[in-house]
Structure 1
């Protein structure tokens, strides 16, 4: 056990220190506020109560459709260019980690990304299909930012740059020093674009989706896939490793693409394609923490758990579980191994089944609430239906039932220990 724990600890440390993983994670975190801001506008423009929608539209002398279109402008200016936003965030983060010129590396990434992005030409002229820089291109954007940063750093470290006299101000010398690295990077991407155009007859986005994008989405968007991912995260928690941090760093781009596909379908009034998305992950697959705390609140009598309830009670309302995870503690606590590993599976299966059988409307993708949003509220907002809130309550109760017998066993053991301490 000690050897296994040590190996996991080393793996986690290596994972958390990996500059590429950190850049992806921090880049997605930087992108997150725009998803929330856009969600507010989309909620208002597609309010689930028709009479309220009509009333708001009438205030501006608009039809409901016109009102919805006006509020979708914010979406078109943010999430619709999600790939570009993630590209900017990841490339800047990587540049800072690699100690290269952040501004120039970021701009070089944008140009390189656009070099790979084809324009469409019609009789009316040339135009850019905005979907090629939207959320569906997040994976490609991440790869481009990593490739640009790596190539840029190699050239920069070799000193292949225009060196200006020391008397020249940094604001002037810095762009000149970046000229050769940026030129080489952009030229390489241009050559890659020519190869794709002339031989593969595919765009970079099409090629990436064919090789990696589609398989990754299939894995992240399947019931078995999300169960395995969640169980892996919980297993890491058992060994004292922040499982959410590791899992989210890898899976968030996948869930975000699935979320955007749902949002696009909702805005077009088409059938929603994906059960699993970021909203499913945050709102229905991650109820284990609040379930465990509520189980303790219901039946615990030991002094240790009574004190812990005072600390953990309020945070759990906002899905913050660290006080419980480290207060019980769950690390290497064999008593809680089964509920820690499998209670989320119960919630995932119940939710997936309810959505698959159309008992509850699928998360629309129009709304992406922060993961700290309390259950019931988040369930209603992401599905646009009270049945979404009810489903969360059902999952909540199911998770509590999984935890209750184990909490009861642990509580009795602690009470015996406390009694023995008092008798000494």
Structure 2
């Protein structure tokens, strides 16, 4: 009864607002672009899990089977897939979003994609070495996703506006469309490229920066003042999840600033543990990675528990295995959660809630603080990581409690959305 009342309240209050936003061409273009990016995140996640398997014995076994002296030899090979997918995420997203938005504004799709890619690369600084001039792959990866989305939308908008003015090179009617089309796109594409060229010059000469540094720096500066307090961490989690929700790579933007801070706190705990003293910092890299980040897994478990629709059952199967190793992209893009306003509340706030619960458990002495001795990779499964980073079974039990809480938060929202999809499937 209470669950039904909660769903009715959410549907009455959030339903009309969510429907309006979900029909917005800008929102749907970004969402569709990110969905197109999703298969590559899943492909890369499979290779990443194998490359950085959290059990050393498995890594050693693979090394012995391959007959090599060092695991790095074969791990580097598996990273080839990551370098061709997630590492160039910004480039993939700029193409996908440009295509989706061009379709919605009914303009030349192929030319808008190419023009968006050129504009994106135009804003990307080059690295000059003795061997030539190169593009730093980190500048076209996930960290540049914010820039990619902005460029995709605005380059297509400018292209469409110029096209509407009928400013183009007109070819005779006898010229085939396949030949006339590229000529007609010259002026719109020229205007777009010129606009982004001017932006590049203004940023480079006027502000001595570049687009990615400016945008990510502007978003990141406030995070420097948050440090290691629970209040700061809650704000960070909400901010990170908000970026993710709107199609931006929240982890890359936030962690680029917060990793040094949390790593320092982690090292302080490690030094204290090595000296035989008790660690003092509750907030650390281990806390953030293995306790504060438990949230979206609740959506996957909720789907596995209560889903009736075929769509959600299949997504649950696909997303559950990667999530055993904390690889959440298949769930993010497969459900989808990003830009799905039916899930905005649990998506943004569940991590913050689990962070507070974990902090209280450590502050009250119910669970030993992370020692800093076991700085496990982020792919380490929950329960296992909780045990090793705290050196106590109570760390694993705390993670179990956080997973249960996260699942309970997600269940009413999943149930409401699954019901809609199930009814649609039956029709």
- Normalized against structure 1, the TM-score is what? 0.64
Which residue of the partner structure matches residue 234 of structure 2?
Answer: 223
In structure 2, what is the Cα distance between the partners aligned to 1:258 and 1:228?
Answer: 8
Residue 81 of structure 1 and its aligned partner are, at CA, apart by 0.9
Residue 51 of structure 1 and its aligned partner are, at CA, apart by 2.6
In structure 2, what is the Cα distance between the partners aligned to 1:292 and 1:311?
Answer: 9
Which residue of the partner structure matches residue 155 of structure 2?
Answer: 148
In structure 1, what is the Cα distance between the partners aligned to 2:197 and 2:78?
Answer: 37
In structure 1, what is the Cα distance between the partners aligned to 2:255 and 2:42?
Answer: 13
Which residue of the partner structure matches residue 253 of structure 1?
Answer: 249
Cα–Cα, structure 1 residues 98 and 382, in superposed 2: closer, same or farther, change >3 Å?
A: farther
SS in 1 for 2:128: strand
In structure 1, what is the Cα distance between the partners aligned to 2:349 and 2:199?
Answer: 46
In structure 2, what is the Cα distance between the partners aligned to 1:92 and 1:23?
Answer: 8
Unmatched 5+ stretches in structure 2: 1-7, 227-231, 261-265, 268-283, 321-345, 364-368, 413-427
Which residue of the partner structure matches residue 169 of structure 2?
Answer: 162
Q: Is the 8 A contact 1:287 1:395 kept in 2?
A: no
The number of residues matched between the two structures is 341
Residue 122 of structure 1 and its aligned partner are, at CA, apart by 2.5
2:198 pairs with 1:191: yes
In structure 1, what is the Cα distance between the partners aligned to 2:167 and 2:87?
Answer: 37
Residue 395 of structure 1 and its aligned partner are, at CA, apart by 2.1
Give the structure, 1 or 2, with the largest relative contact order (CA under 8 Å, sep 6 or more): 2
Which residue of the partner structure matches residue 50 of structure 1?
Answer: 56
Which residue of the partner structure matches residue 18 of structure 2?
Answer: 12
Aligned partner of 1:379 among 379, 382, 385: 382
Which residue of the partner structure matches residue 21 of structure 1?
Answer: 27
SS in 1 for 2:80: helix
In structure 2, what is the Cα distance between the partners aligned to 1:34 and 1:263?
Answer: 25
In structure 1, what is the Cα distance between the partners aligned to 2:121 and 2:307?
Answer: 53
Aligned partner of 1:178 among 177, 185, 208: 185
In structure 2, what is the Cα distance between the partners aligned to 1:208 and 1:162?
Answer: 36
Q: Is the 8 A contact 2:302 2:410 kept in 1?
A: yes
SS in 1 for 2:133: strand
Residue 223 of structure 1 and its aligned partner are, at CA, apart by 1.4
Residue 284 of structure 1 and its aligned partner are, at CA, apart by 2.6
Cα–Cα, structure 1 residues 396 and 73, in superposed 2: closer, same or farther, change >3 Å?
A: closer
Larger Cα Rg: Structure 1 or Structure 2?
A: 1
Q: Is the 8 A contact 1:362 1:383 kept in 2?
A: no
In structure 2, what is the Cα distance between the partners aligned to 1:16 and 1:37?
Answer: 27
- Normalized against structure 2, the TM-score is what? 0.63
Residue 91 of structure 1 and its aligned partner are, at CA, apart by 1.0
Q: Is the 8 A contact 1:279 1:382 kept in 2?
A: no
In structure 1, what is the Cα distance between the partners aligned to 2:141 and 2:51?
Answer: 21
In structure 2, what is the Cα distance between the partners aligned to 1:73 and 1:51?
Answer: 23
Aligned partner of 2:43 among 37, 42, 54: 37
- Please give the root-mean-square deviation of Cα atoms over the aligned residues, in Å: 5.0
SS in 1 for 2:246: helix
Which residue of the partner structure matches residue 91 of structure 2?
Answer: 84
Which residue of the partner structure matches residue 281 of structure 2?
Answer: none
Unmatched 5+ stretches in structure 1: 231-245, 265-269, 295-308, 321-338, 368-377, 407-424
Question: Which range moved further: 349-358 or 158-167?
Answer: 349-358
SS in 1 for 2:53: coil
2:141 pairs with 1:134: yes
SS in 2 for 1:121: strand
Cα–Cα, structure 1 residues 362 and 175, in superposed 2: closer, same or farther, change >3 Å?
A: farther
Q: Is the 8 A contact 1:284 1:351 kept in 2?
A: no
Residue 176 of structure 1 and its aligned partner are, at CA, apart by 1.4
Cα–Cα, structure 1 residues 94 and 389, in superposed 2: closer, same or farther, change >3 Å?
A: farther
In structure 1, what is the Cα distance between the partners aligned to 2:297 and 2:192?
Answer: 41
Deviations along 1:221-279, whole A, 9 cap, x unmatched? Answer: 9413545998xxxxxxxxxxxxxxx9964165324655799999xxxxx9896966899
In structure 1, what is the Cα distance between the partners aligned to 2:106 and 2:219?
Answer: 30
Cα–Cα, structure 1 residues 354 and 199, in superposed 2: closer, same or farther, change >3 Å?
A: farther
For 1:273-292, list aligned pairs within 5 A. 283-285=294-296, 287=298
2:61 pairs with 1:65: no
